[in-house]
Amino acid sequence: MLRVLVFTRQLEMFPTLLVLLSAATFGCALHLPIGPEFLLKKGPINNRIAGGKYTQIEAIPWQVSLQILGWHHCGGVIYSKNIIITAAHCVHNNDSKLLDSEFFDVRVGSSTSKNGGSVIKVAKITVHDRYVNINNQKTEYDIALLLLSSPLEMGPAVKAIPLADSVPNDGAAVLVSGWGRTETEPVARYLKSVYVNIVNREQCDRVVLIKATICTASPWKGACAKDSGGPLTYNGTLVGIAVLASKICGDNTLPNVYTDVVELRKWIEEEAKKLS
């Protein structure tokens, strides 16, 4: 009973209904006016991940579902057999209080967020010491590492992904994936993915003004609520962690924002060693 009461107090600032057990929708939104360089030809909004397609987990075996009480909460990425990378805001409530690790599980090796694969408890959480969240509209150094209570059993549907050495060139096609909101579902039943394009760093900085981030923009394609914490990949390497999506998911006039894994690579490697 005490554990339930503590959990309820930690979640009391969350905007989502606990009766739905969604446990704090961290669908961060960054709604910013941007210049003509981002204005792409408009098109119809497809199912989210916006404009994406259903994808088998074997094609993205490093993708995981970070869950609370058995419900998909955020995405995550397999770094090693016992370390998961996700977004820092995924492990905080809206009052910027860090939640206890005991409330989190990770589902791996499944194309669905609700069943299949394996579910492992989170034993410990490490958040970047420079992480900042301002009213869920701006986050900096939005990254966290999760230590699993037991090591993963690697296989075709469960694999670690190497960290990228450099950010892809402007315009490069990169892959984002997750179980984020769709037109008909608050959480997608099946894993989806879509290719988006890297935005020029200077243009990204002028619009977003957030440290340690990269941006993508593509016509009616991108991340949505509950895709946060998931991977942005290029040629089988991890480039970014999804942290901010436009309010209108897939809105082609607004960039999606990701924590820059390349810039924070040293922090990831050092903290992972400490946790392990």
| Model confidence pLDDT, tens digit, residues 190-241 | 999 999 999 987 878 777 767 788 988 877 777 788 899 999 999 999 999 9
Q: What CATH class does 36-55+161-260 carry?
A: mainly beta
**Domain ranges, ordered by start, for the chain:** 2-24+61-159+265-275, 36-55+161-260
Question: What's the pLDDT tens digit per position in 94-117?
Answer: 788 999 999 999 999 999 999 999
The catalytic residues are 89, 142, 228
Report residue 95: phi and psi, to 5°: -100, 15
Adjacency order of strands within the sheet including 53-54: 53-54, 192-197, 173-178, 231-234, 237-244, 256-260, 213-216
- Tokens 């409530």 correspond to 93
CATH 2.40.10.10 fits 2-24+61-159+265-275, yes or no: yes
Same fold: 2-24+61-159+265-275 with 36-55+161-260: yes
87, 229 contact by CB (below 8 A): yes
Question: What's the pLDDT tens digit per position in 133-180?
Answer: 877 667 889 999 999 999 999 999 999 999 999 999 999 999 999 998
Statement: the pTM of the whole predicted model exceeds 0.75: yes
